[in-house]
């Protein structure tokens, strides 16, 4: 059953503890030389002697849609300044987890925090820290690119005297300044996703959340979107939390990744560390990919993806792909 298509009124957070909810035994959380810090070292002092700040902290998160559990005991920490990938197939629980972080789904207090602010008790403070690009398209084809971003500037209460400059800055950051006054309906798929990135950046967020930002795009457009994401991140130092089906993207752009399956994290670490660990365990001289790692930790459970609920996932994906393509 898809975690994206269930009616929200039937959704309930699940808080009862259950044994066996820790990541797969192959999950990797400790640091290695040259790697991003693991969860067990996130509070250790950095090179400047100061502790690394936790951008996102998720503790024991469970969420169910009726009788179907979408997220099942999620523990996760995202470090300030890193690009963190939440990976997995349709129905893995990625989007549900993201919606909990963005305050779009209700959760019990204490389960999810963003830069120390509880998403339940301090919701507005959390929202002011976020930029969010959802999987479903949010740009209005009947407005120009500039008008779309200006609309978000008003929604995010950007001061009137700053709006024009901030809108122009956001459009410039994603490479759309020259086409800003064209109707968004004339944009290519890659341009639309970059426009939505500009919308998310208008509030100067500390945390940028991207849910399948390159879905339905061709390889060139996918690369273009990621080039702009990484350029903005390098210039601002913001934290990026992204979900994706594309393991090659995660391998190239993410500092750390968590592989989810059936609502749980099955492996956690840097892409290189996860693939190195699998290579060592195989001992056959092959060079595994992140997809190989995922198949290893998820095992035969991937066969369950052929059962129930997946028609909705395919329909939603094709609908989005058609709109950006």
Say yes or no to pLDDT of 162 above 60: yes
The least confident of 40-54, 59-73, 79-93 is 40-54
Q: Give the pLDDT of residue 6.
A: 44
pTM of the model: 0.77
Report the pLDDT averaged over residues 75-84.
Answer: 96
284, exposed or middle or buried, with CB in 10 Å at 0-12, 13-18, 19+?
exposed
Instruction: Give strand pairing partners of 208.
Output: 131, 240
Which residue's entry shows tokens 């490479």? 175
Q: Give the pLDDT of residue 9.
A: 42
Say yes or no to pLDDT of 302 above 90: no
The number of residues making up the chain comes to: 325
- Give per-residue pLDDT as tens, 171-206: 999 999 999 999 999 999 899 999 999 999 998 999
Question: Could you tell me how far CA 165 lies from the centroid of its own chain?
Answer: 28
Q: Give the pLDDT of residue 135.
A: 83
Say yes or no to pLDDT of 19 above 60: no
Q: Give the pLDDT of residue 100.
A: 96
- Which comes out higher in pLDDT, residue 264 or 302? 264
Give the pair of three-digit tokens for residue 86.
Answer: 């939440």
d(CA 113, CA 123) in angstroms, rounded, equals: 10
- Give per-residue pLDDT as tens, 107-153: 999 999 999 999 999 999 999 999 999 988 889 999 999 999 999 99
Cβ proximity of 207 and 114 under 8 Å: yes
Say yes or no to pLDDT of 105 above 90: yes
d(CA 52, CA 237) in angstroms, rounded, equals: 13
Say yes or no to pLDDT of 36 above 80: no
Alpha helices (H) along 49-136: 94-101, 123-129
Q: Give the pLDDT of residue 285.
A: 82
- Which comes out higher in pLDDT, residue 155 or 52? 155
d(CA 189, CA 291) in angstroms, rounded, equals: 26
Give the pair of three-digit tokens for residue 149.
Answer: 């971003």
Q: Would you place residue 47 in the very low, low, confident or very high pLDDT band (cuts 50, 70, 90)? A: very low
d(CA 235, CA 99) in angstroms, rounded, equals: 27
**Proportion of the chain above pLDDT 90, given as a percent:** 58
Say yes or no to pLDDT of 324 above 60: no
Q: Give the pLDDT of residue 157.
A: 85
Cα distances from 83 to residues 36, 124, 162, 290, in angstroms, run 10, 24, 29, 16
| 65 sits in which H/E element | strand 54-65
**How high does pLDDT run on average in the chain?**
81
Say yes or no to pLDDT of 2 above 70: no
Q: Give the pLDDT of residue 11.
A: 52
pLDDT winner (highest mean) among 29-33, 79-83, 299-303: 79-83
Dihedral over Cα of 44, 46, 51, 55: its sign: negative
Q: Give the pLDDT of residue 166.
A: 94
Say yes or no to pLDDT of 240 above 70: yes
């Amino acid at each position: 059953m898809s975690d994206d298509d269930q009616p929200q009124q039937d959704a309930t957070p699940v808080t009862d503890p259950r044994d066996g909810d820790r990541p797969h035994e192959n999950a990797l959380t400790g640091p290695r030389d040259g790697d991003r810090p693991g969860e067990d070292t996130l509070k250790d002092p950095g090179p400047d002697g100061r502790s690394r700040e936790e951008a996102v902290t998720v503790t024991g998160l469970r969420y169910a849609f009726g009788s179907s559990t979408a997220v099942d005991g999620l523990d996760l920490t995202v470090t300030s300044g890193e690009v963190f990938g939440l990976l997995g197939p349709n129905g893995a629980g990625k989007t549900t987890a993201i919606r909990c972080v963005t305050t779009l789904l209700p959760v019990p207090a204490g389960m999810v925090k963003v830069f120390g602010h509880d998403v339940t008790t301090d919701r507005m403070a959390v929202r002011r820290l976020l930029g969010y690009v959802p999987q479903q398209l949010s740009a209005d084809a009947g407005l120009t690119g500039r008008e779309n971003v200006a609309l978000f500037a008003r929604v995010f209460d950007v001061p009137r005297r700053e709006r024009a400059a901030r809108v122009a800055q956001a459009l410039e950051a994603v490479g759309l300044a020259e086409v800003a006054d064209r109707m968004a309906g004339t944009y290519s798929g890659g341009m639309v996703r970059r426009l939505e990135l500009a919308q998310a950046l208008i509030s100067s967020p500390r945390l940028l959340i991207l849910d399948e930002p390159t879905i339905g795009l061709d390889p060139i457009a996918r690369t273009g979107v990621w080039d702009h994401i990484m350029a903005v991140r390098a210039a601002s130092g913001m934290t990026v939390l992204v979900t994706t089906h594309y393991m090659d993207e995660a391998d190239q752009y993410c500092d750390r990744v968590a592989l989810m399956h059936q609502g749980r994290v099955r492996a956690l670490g840097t892409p290189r560390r996860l693939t190195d660990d699998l290579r060592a365990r195989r001992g056959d001289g092959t060079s595994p990919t992140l997809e190989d790692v995922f198949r290893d930790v998820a095992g035969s459970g991937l066969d369950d993806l052929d059962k129930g609920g997946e028609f909705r996932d395919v329909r939603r994906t094709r609908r989005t792909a058609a709109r950006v393509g």
